[in-house]
Amino acid sequence: MAARALALAERAMLLAGPPGSAEPPVRAAEYGAVSATLSRWFPVRVVDTPPLTGDPVVPAVLTRADRVVLVAPSDDRGLRWLVDCRSWIVPLLREPFDRIGVQVLVCRDARPPDAAARLSPGGSGGVPTFVLPFDPALRDAAALRWADLSARTEAIILDIAAQTVRDMRLR
């Protein structure tokens, strides 16, 4: 199954299932072997897991993660979700979340991000936290397309990715 989902380019690898498919590209039982094999060719692998559900691939990925990026809306509900999510994933991680975690808050409307503004460095548990300003393309995350993002949002996302990789090299 994994072989069908691999798309190789010169130095990049994408492991994904068809959009809208209910079938994951790699099952939980396959993930360890697939990850170990791919690490021979790709020292950095980015895995997008489904939302925290009963899907067994989430713990399979988290137990091997070198970095975890949590994305949530910047409202009070999103902040509560981040707290709940951290408490659920911390026991699965190889290292403390404040060492390998990154949080990204997404402003879903043009109003100032009240909750995000209240999230001080101490309130984030020492975890790097970024805020994506309002971008109409982010309003409906289910239909997100890179080409629809504003140049500012693209630049911020690329900066977050670059800093995350840079931090991994420093460890």
DSSP three-state, residue 75: coil
State what percent of residues in the chain have pLDDT above 90: 1
Measured torsion, CA atoms of residues 170, 34, 87, 121, in degrees rounded to the nearest 10: 30
Distance from C-alpha of 156 to C-alpha of 51, rounded to nearest angstrom: 23
Q: Band the pLDDT of 170: cuts 50, 70, 90.
A: low
Q: What's the pLDDT score for residue 169?
A: 61
Q: What's the pLDDT score for residue 122?
A: 42
Measured torsion, CA atoms of residues 38, 23, 47, 71, in degrees rounded to the nearest 10: 180
Q: Band the pLDDT of 121: cuts 50, 70, 90.
A: very low
Q: Which of 21-25, 111-115, 156-160 has the lowest mean pLDDT?
A: 111-115
pLDDT at 123 over 60: no
pLDDT at 4 over 50: no
What is the overall mean pLDDT for the chain? 75
pLDDT at 88 over 70: yes
Q: What's the pLDDT score for residue 5?
A: 47
**pLDDT, tens digit, for every residue of 130-165?**
888 888 887 765 666 778 888 998 888 888 888 887
Work out the number of other CB atoms within 10 angstroms of the CB of residue 35: 18
Q: What's the pLDDT score for residue 78?
A: 87
- Strand pairing of 129-132 and 68-73? unpaired
123 touches 105 (CB < 8 A): no
Higher pLDDT, 154 or 2: 154
Closest C-alpha among 126, 125, 153 to residue 141:
153
CA 165 to chain CA centroid, nearest Å: 13
Distance from C-alpha of 45 to C-alpha of 39, rounded to nearest angstrom: 8
Higher pLDDT, 96 or 23: 96
| DSSP states along 21-71 | -SS-SS-HHHHHHHHHHHHTT-S----PPPSSSS-THHHHHHTT-S-EEEE
State what percent of residues in the chain have pLDDT above 70: 68
Burial call 127-148: b when 16+ CB within 10 Å, e when fewer: bbbbbbbbbebbeeeeeeeeee
pLDDT at 16 over 80: no
